[in-house]
Amino acid sequence: MNLLKNIRTTAINVFQNEANALLNLIPEIGDEFETCVKDVLNSKGRVVITGIGKSAIVANKIVATLNSTGTPSLFMHAADAIHGDLGMIKKEDFVICISKSGNTPEIKLLVPMLKTLGSKLIGLVGNKDSYLAKHSDYVLFTGIEEEACPNNLAPTTSTTVQMAMGDALAICLLTARGFTAESFARFHPGGTLGKQLYLKVKDVIDASLLPMVEESASLKEVVLEISSKRLGATAVVDAAQNLRGIITDGDLRRMLQNNFEVSEIKAGDIMTKNPKTILLDDFAVKAVEVMRTFNITQLVVKDNSSLVGFVHIHDLMKEGIV
């Protein structure tokens, strides 16, 4: 039990340490940060991010975030940079150099070369008095009091605040550019996330399956229409093909439970009026939300005022967005 208690205490201490370090960064977000964001926003170049050790891993993550949110970026390992990779950098590029100490040998060798190329340098650094900080055009301070590691050695809290500062930069640029969910979808066409952002109702329905009967249709006609189209429902329309209601399998079961004489029943007698509908160009994820809200499994699909089909919960499940 004591061991278990120590484990829990240690984990909680890590969270508290890293949370406090993040909160301590808030006063560092001032005029210099704002000017830095504006300068990057107005730049015609890319953002090149470099680092060594754990900072290099953080750099890769920030590059991925920037690329996915509309800021063209690439990663350059600091050790490789001084062995030829500097050739990827253009004068108009911004270079973000990530370092906790700001005084590593690779950084001291790399910074003068970057200055020679004419690129602007952003130091994402934990030491304001370091070589990197003193030679940067902008300093994004990520200093901490101590690592979460009990020996104050393993990069833990320091890498957390580095990633948070990268996220802050990325989100500020995203917001300033007016980057929308639709913009995000262009860079994330794959997977469930991508489908939620670009897949539309018209992409999942089978327009050839449009179960539809008129209000005067007999019960037999209703059953045959539902069975033949295999969507578990049929639309009910008037003589002008305007939507009047919907009849589902559930409606038929409830009707049979309550009526012994069914020979005179017409579609208009048992339909649910004003059924839930969705537009052909709506996102499929909206159809999921409507179905969940009203606890239903299908929606009538319309193109303006015309009926074009049904979207069923099974169609959305096949696409992996439910």
Q: State residue 300's pLDDT score.
A: 92
Q: Which letter does DSSP use for residue 283 in this model?
A: B
Please, how many CA atoms are within 13 Å of residue 229, restricted to the half-sphere of its CB?
A: 25
Rounded to an integer, the average pLDDT of 208-228 is 90
How far is the C-alpha of 246 from the C-alpha of 273, rounded, in Å? Answer: 7
SS3 assignment, position 148: coil
Q: State residue 234's pLDDT score.
A: 93
Is residue 57 predicted with pLDDT exceeding 90?
yes
Annotation: CATH topology of 201-318:
CBS-domain (3.10.580)
Is residue 305 predicted with pLDDT exceeding 90?
no
Is CATH 3.30.559.10 the classification given to domain 2-179?
no
Q: State residue 48's pLDDT score.
A: 96
How far is the C-alpha of 125 from the C-alpha of 142, rounded, in Å? Answer: 6
Q: State residue 82's pLDDT score.
A: 82
Written as one letter, the residue type at 142 is T
Domain boundaries, given as residue ranges, for the chain? 2-179, 201-318
| 236, 213 Cβ separation under 8 angstroms | yes
**87-118 pLDDT tens trace:** 899 999 999 999 999 999 999 999 999 989 99
How far is the C-alpha of 72 from the C-alpha of 94, rounded, in Å? Answer: 11
SS3 assignment, position 301: strand
Question: Looking at the DSSP assignment, which residues form a beta bridge with residue 111?
Answer: none
Classify residue 284 by burial, with Cβ atoms within 10 Å: 0-12, 13-18, 19+. buried
| 74, 48 Cβ separation under 8 angstroms | yes
Q: State residue 100's pLDDT score.
A: 96
Q: State residue 260's pLDDT score.
A: 57
What is the pLDDT confidence band of residue 319, given thresholds at 50, 70 and 90? confident
Share of the chain above pLDDT 70, in %: 93
Is residue 196 predicted with pLDDT exceeding 80?
no
Rounded to an integer, the average pLDDT of 161-168 is 97
Rounded to an integer, the average pLDDT of 198-225 is 89
Q: State residue 179's pLDDT score.
A: 81
Segment among 43-57, 137-151, 179-193, 251-265 with least mean pLDDT: 179-193
Q: State residue 5's pLDDT score.
A: 66
Question: Looking at the DSSP assignment, which residues form a beta bridge with residue 200?
Answer: 283
Q: Which letter does DSSP use for residue 199 in this model?
A: -
How far is the C-alpha of 43 from the C-alpha of 92, rounded, in Å? Answer: 7
Q: Which letter does DSSP use for residue 43 in this model?
A: -
**Average pLDDT across the chain, whole number:** 90
